[in-house]
Amino acid sequence: MMMAGTCAARPAAAALALCLALGLLRAFVPGAAHGAAAQRPAAAQASGAPMGMGEQPQESPLLGAATRLLAGAAAAGLLAGLSAGAARAEIEDVAIPVDGKGKTRNLSKEELIRGKRLFNVACGTCHVGGGTRTNQSVGLGIEELSGAFPPRNTIDSLVDYINAPTTYDGLKDISEVHPSIIAADLWPKMRSMKQQDLYDISAYILYQNYVIPEKWGGGKQYY
Ligand SMILES: *[C@@H]1O[C@H](CO)[C@@H](O)[C@H](O)[C@H]1NC(C)=O
Ligand SMILES: *[C@@H]1O[C@H](CO)[C@@H](O)[C@H](O)[C@H]1NC(C)=O
């Protein structure tokens, strides 16, 4: 896969660049440092180090500074590359089931952020961490969602649920007990919700199940 390729290549390239740069420095600087030995006290003075502490053989200040600078830059570049790669891998490499027929979607970072924000505003109080405050045995973990009737483990079925929620066994309408679109007159936060909002909220719920299954959906054995 392309993503994995660039991700692996980036640290290698950074490491190679660092090695090359250090190699070049080692090749050139020691000679220069010996030749410039008379300049050392000046450098020490400039850096505020007391004079007369020259008994210990010192690393060339130039080489030391350059090494630290290069190592710092390389480490920073490596970290930035790695975390950007990891974040992208997490979001875009997760296929979220859309319907019960095998259709899936990979979210973009923007969709995920949107879903998370909407979830936190509209659902987060009762479903903190994917649990369900009023009944911990029907949290938003994948097992609970899959065990409902009809199963609520796809984007479409969750959107359907938020439009017109039913009991876990699917037998009763609970739109006046659980926030819903069909009873939006009772649920102020649901009045401005578009179907796209429900979609993004649902996708976020399922994404959390794939990425942090051990933390999402309180009421499981992990808690
Ligand atoms: C979507 O995620 C799956 C892994 O779940 C991955 O195999 C696939 O390549 C991803 N698709 C895209 C377009 O990134
Ligand atoms: C929680 O939900 C389950 C499944 O619908 C139900 O069997 C159980 O009675 C509920 N518990 C409470 C305390 O409402």
The rounded distance, in Å, linking the Cα atoms of 208 and 40 is: 58
Q: What is the pLDDT of residues 118-140, one digit of tens each?
A: 999 999 999 999 999 999 899 99
Residue nearest to atom 4 of ligand 2 (CA): 168
193 lines ligand 2 (CB under 6 A): no
Which of 168, 169, 171, 177 is the best mutation target for the ligand 2 pocket, counting ligand atoms within 8 Å of the beta carbon and taking the most?
168
Instruction: Look at residue 9 and tell me whether its pLDDT is greater than 50.
Output: no
Q: What pLDDT score was predicted for residue 178? A: 97
Residue nearest to atom 13 of ligand 1 (CA): 106
Please report, for residues 49, 110, 120, 132, 179, the alpha-carbon distance to residue 126 in angstroms, rounded to integers and kept in the order given: 61, 24, 10, 6, 11
CA of 146 to the centre of ligand 2 (A): 16
- With vertex at residue 147, the alpha carbon angle to CA 116 and CA 180, rounded to the nearest 5 degrees, is 45
Q: What is the pLDDT of residues 170-208, one digit of tens each?
A: 999 999 999 999 999 999 999 999 999 999 999 999 999
